[in-house]
Amino acid sequence: MIKIFKIIALLEGISLLALLFFAMPMKYFFHNPVFVKHIGMAHGLLFILYIALAILLKIDQKWEMKKFGIICLASIIPFGTFYVEKKYL
């Protein structure tokens, strides 16, 4: 399950970066919101999957609350999931 979580963490991190650094500028500078709709939906689904898998792994691996909290908070910080994958997984 850790391997799947690593893949989801990578995809979630990439989707957040794509949303922040591609889709949002396209929406606000070029008035083209279509990218926010599609990338935002993918990011939302990956975010939910990331948190759900983190909860399952917390139970399965008996993570401390501090480690679990850091892993969950990393999902809302750009490049955070990449840091978690290298340091905690």
- For 30-87, how does the pLDDT look when each residue is reduced to its tens digit (9 = 90+)? 999 999 999 999 999 999 999 999 999 999 999 999 999 999 999 888 898 888 888 8
**What are the two backbone dihedrals, phi and then psi, of residue 62, each rounded to the nearest 5 degrees?**
55, 50
- For 16-46, how does the pLDDT look when each residue is reduced to its tens digit (9 = 90+)? 999 999 999 999 999 999 999 999 999 999 9
Q: Which among 25, 2, 18, 3 is positioned nearest to 79, based on CA atoms? A: 18
Tokens 């990956």 belong to residue: 46
40 is written with which tokens?
A: 């935002």
Q: Quickly count: other Cβ atoms within 10 Å of residue 34's Cβ.
A: 10
